Structure 1
Amino acid sequence: MAVLGVQACIAALLVAMDLFSALPKPGFPTSPGPTGPSVRPYTPDRHPASPDAPRGRPMADRLTFDGTGARLHLTGKIAPGDAERLMLELSRREHEGTPVRVLDLDSTGGSVHDALAIGRALRAGEIDTEVVDGAICFSACPYIFAGGVARRVEAGGRLGVHQHYFGENTFLPAFMAVKDIQRGQADVMAHLRAMGVDPALMEPAMRTPPEEIYVLDRQELTEFRLVTSAE
């Protein structure tokens, strides 16, 4: 019941934020989510050029697969249908006698549904996950990362979370989306718990608007049990 209460509060918060954003703003100061060096602009179609730069090289519209042997490199946005594509790729490599043992990620996120499915598939296949130096894992990507048996973020890798976008800022869709929001948040929290990650990770995520990304520091990666090895 406590979990349901938390989910209901999260849904109510999202709806309130959605409604407030649709209203005219009088121009007085507000109290936004977290700010500072950990929060940066989020541009899903671009790979950040550096920790302080919001724009860089273009990000592929869907996940692309690269690598040989036991390592597979995933880069790009997570598009609907990518989970099925990846499962076929993993199956193909297994049948060819070169099963994937490590998946390294470089993604700005995308489809939460596909990210959760990929994460579950990685855990079932006992595959490790990594975010290497210079790579990012933002938005829904951490749900893939969480599926790794052993999980490592190199010193130059970045993993970030934020609120998921639930539609246009209009009154009717916000109210109609409450059940979907609750269901979606329940799915994410259940996934994190099943993967051994602290669901409290959702706190900085829910406090960070969709147009920004909260980049977790080394201590947070460990505290939320996202990593089994930080570097």
Structure 2
Amino acid sequence: MKGFLAKIDPRSGLRYVLLLQLAIAGILVVSDVASLYPSPFQKQVDLPSGPISPGDQRREYRTDRPNPKLLRMDEPPDLPMPENFPGRLEFTEQVVERIGRVLLVSGQIEVGDAQRFVSFLSDMQEKPDLVALHSPGGVVSEALSLGRKIREAELSSGVLAGAVCMSSCPYVLAGGEERIVSLRGIVGMHQHYYEQLRYIPVLFAVEDIQKGQGETMQHLIDMDVDLSLMLFSLNTPPQQIYALIEEELIETRIATAIID
């Protein structure tokens, strides 16, 4: 055996190790790219498109614009909402009847948005009565940070009529000391991706996902939101969204008050 090992050229051995690593990387790349496209063997689910009702709460998930068919808009929205979601969060001040000074936070949640929120808030002449959310979600860690910033500022959060708060956005909503949700708005959950290095061994990828889930659960505990909220997330595929009804909003405490 010792003689056999002595015959191995170290340079050849290193080359074989590098080739093996490249092969593993290639497999991970192919599997990752394949996950972006629907499998021809995967059963396609035809989802309804109208307003949600109890037991009929799954709809197609979109990040480009809200789905107006999800919303019960028999009356005008509480404040004007953008037709398309901005590529990152935008902040605008508005006054809403019965609520007061509102800071509308709309768009996709990207890295750095929590600090941008803090900067905008510090430049406001008066503290807003409500942080109103209108977002399809985005980077989970940034949503958690933004939720903590809202809590540190002792602000209330809400989803008003005509607005949606989906994917990671409910973790921002959780930050409000009071959380107001309109029955003509949508709070939606689904499985989401936690940030991780691409093309790393599966063992470490799973470890990162579990760490991300743990941080999310701790955030909900800190914000006094029931962990049962996570069930709606874990049980809904990423391409779908599960819209919570009034009973679920109240029982999970993601909403502390419901308005029409």
If the length of structure 2 is used for normalisation, what is the TM-score?
Answer: 0.70
User: How do residues 131-150 of structure 1 correspond to structure 2 at under 5 angstroms?
Assistant: 131-150=159-178
Q: Structure 1 residues 50 and 92, CA, compared in 2 at 3 Å: closer, same or farther?
A: same
Q: With CA pairs under 8 Å and 6+ residues apart, which has the higher RCO, 1 or 2?
A: 1
Q: How many residues align?
A: 202
Shift of 1:44: 1.0
- Which of 128, 139, 142 is 1:100 aligned to? 128
Shift of the alpha carbon at 1:154? 0.9
Q: Is the radius of gyration larger for structure 1 or structure 2? A: 2
Picking from 45, 55, 62, the partner of 1:43 is 62
Match of 1:206 in 2: 234
Pair 1:136–1:119, CA change in 2 (3 A): same
- What is the Cα deviation at residue 134 of structure 1? 1.0
Q: Per-residue CA shift, 1:160-213, capped at 9, x if unaligned?
A: 011012589x99654331111011001100000110100111111001111111
> Which residue is equivalent to 1:6?
none
State the alpha-carbon separation in 1 of the partners of residues 201 and 211 from structure 2.
Answer: 16
* Residue 143 (structure 2) pairs with residue 115 (structure 1): yes
Equivalent position of 2:104 in the other structure: 73
Distance 2:85 2:40 in 1: 37
SS at match of 2:59: strand
Mapping of residues 115-194 of structure 1, within 5 Å: 115-166=143-194, 174-194=202-222
What secondary structure, in the 3-state scheme, does the structure 2 residue paired with 1:148 have?
A: coil
SS of alignment partner, residue 91 of structure 2 = strand
Asked whether 1:83 is paired with 2:111, we answer no
Identity of aligned residues (%): 38
Q: Structure 1: which 5+ residue stretches go unaligned?
A: 1-17
Shift of 1:57: 3.4
Q: Take 1:28 and 1:206, find their aligned partners in 2: how far apart are those partners? A: 19
Once superposed, what is the RMSD of the aligned Cα atoms?
Answer: 2.9
The whole-number CA distance in structure 1 between the counterparts of 2:209 and 2:200 is: 14
